[in-house]
Amino acid sequence: MEIEITSLLEMHAPGLSASRMELGDNAGRITWQAAKEQAEETPILDTPEKLDAMRDFARSSGGWDAEEIAAWDAEEVNALFLQWIAGDVRELGADTLAGIDWTEAEEMQQAGQAPSNIYRAEDGRIFFYLGS
């Protein structure tokens, strides 16, 4: 499923996805709290179908089992989605979606050097592909 994320152009990715080296021992807690707060403001996954697509995506990553995923509420699913976007933005060398060099990003993606879940359509809208 393709999810439009253009509305997140200015979302500050390092606030939602940062390492222990950057934020110290509480990096996970800090970024998870920030992601939950952002999810309250911008619940991108706003239908049961979108929420289920993210749950399936998370399950396919191998990071969680079905029982854990089933226990997530909509805010937690949205928070994880935002963290995933933030991580991908950072892997593309930017701090925001607006800061991505799309020519370079496409080259990195085609070379297998960066995630290929984020892409920009010809009309300038930005999407995240929830699938394998």
Q: Would the pLDDT of 45 be above 90?
A: yes
Indicate whether 34 pLDDT > 90. Answer: yes
Q: What is the pLDDT of residue 130?
A: 94
Q: Considering only CA atoms, which of 56, 69, 80, 28 is closest in space to residue 88?
A: 80
Domains in the chain: how many in total? 1
In the predicted model, what is the mean pLDDT of residues 108-130? 93
Domain span at residue 69 reads 2-129
pLDDT of residue 19: 87
d(CA 65, CA 79): 18
- Stated pTM of the model: 0.93
Q: How much is the mean pLDDT over the chain?
A: 94
d(CA 40, CA 86): 16
Question: Which of the four pLDDT bands, split at 50, 70 and 90, describes residue 115?
Answer: confident
Q: Each residue of 54-102: pLDDT tens digit?
A: 999 999 988 899 999 999 999 999 999 999 999 999 999 999 999 999 9
